[in-house]
């Protein structure tokens, strides 16, 4: 799946910038902006969140280039189990959200939302439990160690949790929480934002690794980390469009083993997407790439000033992808030597 490095001019010529309206606020936004790359190998996605600076966003660009200019990996399965994703909605709104994930047997529930409290989280999780058998929660590093300890107890008072995803921000806190609670701990930001993505496993700080293709620099990078990290892997979306979801499904399909449902059903969070989403069947999504519909690309196109913003962002990230100035022999992850 080695990608031929494109010139900057060729990359910009193939860029489509879109703004996808969302059904509910998620990660603090109601419109998801991202850039798509129409490459010789297919479609790639560059969707680093707007607050990310070039050193971090460059991973996401590398992933988009890999998908657009490379070849997909060999797959071991043709469908992937997915979890429903429940934003930090009131408990009364849970049934409406879950209705977008027909057949899902697992749900990931957002918790530790700014402006909410633990009681809100408990109510939301219990509302989900009434409809879905397996529940996991994601705090995005929003709790202190003491808060996470209390939350683990409160959130399991009425039933088990599959795992707590990134309950605290630091590896040291995750390791200590893992000693304090019997609830399995999953790491996300402590892997994808770390200089050393394997540090969390070496520290004994997680039972499960949540891996996202784009922040890690592409499918090859994800598969390499999965091979080395020696704990079960969940492949998840980074609020991707249908294009990015297709890449995530390919990554999950290429893993030697897959023991947990993956967080790749987030297409249901969008009012409109660049391609007609594949509906889950019995809680599974088929493994296939997404090809954007030309009419959707037109109607979802971002404004001219936002398109220019993304062009400038690509220009800032592009030089960080190569081993040295003028060397376009191979893409690399930021920090490789």
pLDDT tens readout for residues 74-124: 999 999 999 999 999 999 999 999 998 889 999 999 999 999 999 999 999
Q: For residues 302 and 278, state if they share a domain.
A: no
Q: For residues 127 and 35, state if they share a domain.
A: no
**Domain extent at residue 43:** 8-72+294-320
pLDDT for 277 equals 80
Q: For residues 110 and 248, state if they share a domain.
A: yes
Largest CA distance in the chain: 59
Q: For residues 225 and 144, state if they share a domain.
A: yes
pLDDT tens readout for residues 321-332: 974 333 333 344
Q: Residue 7 carries which DSSP code?
A: P
- Output the CA torsion sign for 143, 148, 154, 158: positive
Q: Is 282 annotated for ligand binding?
A: no
* pTM of the model as a whole: 0.90
Q: For residues 30 and 173, state if they share a domain.
A: no
Q: What is the mean pLDDT of the chain?
A: 92
Query: Does residue 337 belong to any structural domain of this protein?
Result: no
pLDDT tens readout for residues 42-70: 999 999 999 999 999 999 999 999 999 99
Q: For residues 110 and 60, state if they share a domain.
A: no
Q: Is 45 annotated for ligand binding?
A: no
Q: For residues 101 and 50, state if they share a domain.
A: no
DSSP β-bridge partners for residue 29: 26
pLDDT for 334 equals 36
Are the CB atoms for 241 and 274 separated by under 8 Å?
yes
How much is the CA Rg of the chain, to the nearest whole Å? 19
Which of the following is catalytic: 110, 193, 224, 315?
110
Q: For residues 44 and 98, state if they share a domain.
A: no
pLDDT for 252 equals 98
pLDDT for 82 equals 96
Q: For residues 172 and 262, state if they share a domain.
A: yes
Are the CB atoms for 167 and 152 separated by under 8 Å?
yes
How many domains does the chain fold into? Answer: 2
The structure tokens listed for 29 are 């936004």
The structure tokens listed for 8 are 């900057």
Whether 212 sits among the annotated catalytic residues: the reply is yes
Q: For residues 213 and 83, state if they share a domain.
A: yes
pLDDT for 102 equals 87
Query: Does residue 21 belong to any structural domain of this protein?
Result: yes
Residue that wins the pLDDT comparison between 327 and 262: 262
pLDDT tens readout for residues 125-170: 999 999 999 999 999 999 999 999 999 999 999 999 999 999 999 9
CATH code, 20: 3.30.390.10
Q: Is 146 annotated for ligand binding?
A: no
- Output the CA torsion sign for 273, 276, 281, 287: negative
Q: Cβ atoms within 10 A of the Cβ of 257, count?
A: 8
CATH code, 228: 3.20.20.120
Query: Does residue 333 belong to any structural domain of this protein?
Result: no
Which of the following is catalytic: 108, 193, 212, 224?
212
pLDDT for 28 equals 81
Are the CB atoms for 282 and 103 separated by under 8 Å?
yes
Q: For residues 178 and 45, state if they share a domain.
A: no
pLDDT for 2 equals 54
pLDDT tens readout for residues 180-224: 999 999 999 999 888 899 999 999 999 999 999 999 999 999 999
Q: For residues 153 and 214, state if they share a domain.
A: yes
Are the CB atoms for 249 and 26 separated by under 8 Å?
no
Give me the half-sphere count of Cα atoms (radius 13 Å) on the Cβ side of residue 37: 30
Whether 193 sits among the annotated catalytic residues: the reply is no
């Amino acid at each position: 799946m080695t990608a031929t490095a494109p010139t900057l001019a060729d990359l910009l010529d193939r860029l489509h910038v879109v703004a996808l309206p969302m059904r509910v606020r998620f990660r603090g936004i109601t419109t998801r902006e991202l850039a798509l790359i129409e490459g010789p190998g297919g479609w790639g996605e560059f969707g680093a969140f707007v607050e990310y600076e070039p050193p971090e966003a460059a991973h996401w660009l590398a992933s988009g280039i890999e998908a657009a200019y490379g070849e997909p990996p060999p797959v071991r399965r043709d469908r992937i189990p997915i979890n429903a994703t429940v934003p930090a909605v009131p408990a009364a709104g849970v049934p409406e959200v879950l209705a977008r994930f027909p057949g899902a047997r697992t749900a990931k529930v957002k918790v530790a939302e700014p402006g909410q409290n633990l009681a809100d989280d408990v109510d939301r999780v219990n509302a989900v439990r009434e409809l879905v058998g397996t529940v996991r929660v994601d705090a995005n590093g929003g709790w202190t160690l003491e808060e996470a300890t209390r939350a683990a107890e409160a959130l399991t008072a009425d039933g088990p949790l599959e795992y707590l995803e990134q309950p605290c921000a630091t590896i040291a806190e995750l390791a200590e929480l893992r000693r304090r609670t019997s609830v399995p701990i999953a790491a996300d930001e402590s892997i994808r934002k770390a200089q050393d993505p394997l540090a969390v496993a070496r520290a004994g700080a997680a039972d499960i690794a949540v891996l996202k293709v784009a922040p890690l620099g592409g499918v090859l990078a994800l598969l390499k980390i999965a091979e080395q990290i020696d704990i079960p892997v969940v492949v998840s979306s980074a609020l991707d469009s249908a294009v990015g979801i297709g890449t995530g499904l390919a990554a999950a399909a290429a893993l030697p083993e897959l023991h947990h449902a993956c967080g790749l059903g987030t297409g249901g969070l969008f009012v409109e997407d660049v391609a007609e989403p594949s509906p889950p069947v019995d809680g599974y999504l088929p493994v296939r790439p997404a090809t954007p519909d030309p009419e959707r690309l037109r109607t979802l196109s971002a404004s001219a000033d936002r398109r220019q913003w993304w062009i400038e962002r690509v220009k800032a990230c592009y030089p960080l992808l190569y081993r040295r100035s003028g060397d376009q022999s191979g893409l690399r992850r930021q920090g490789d030597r």
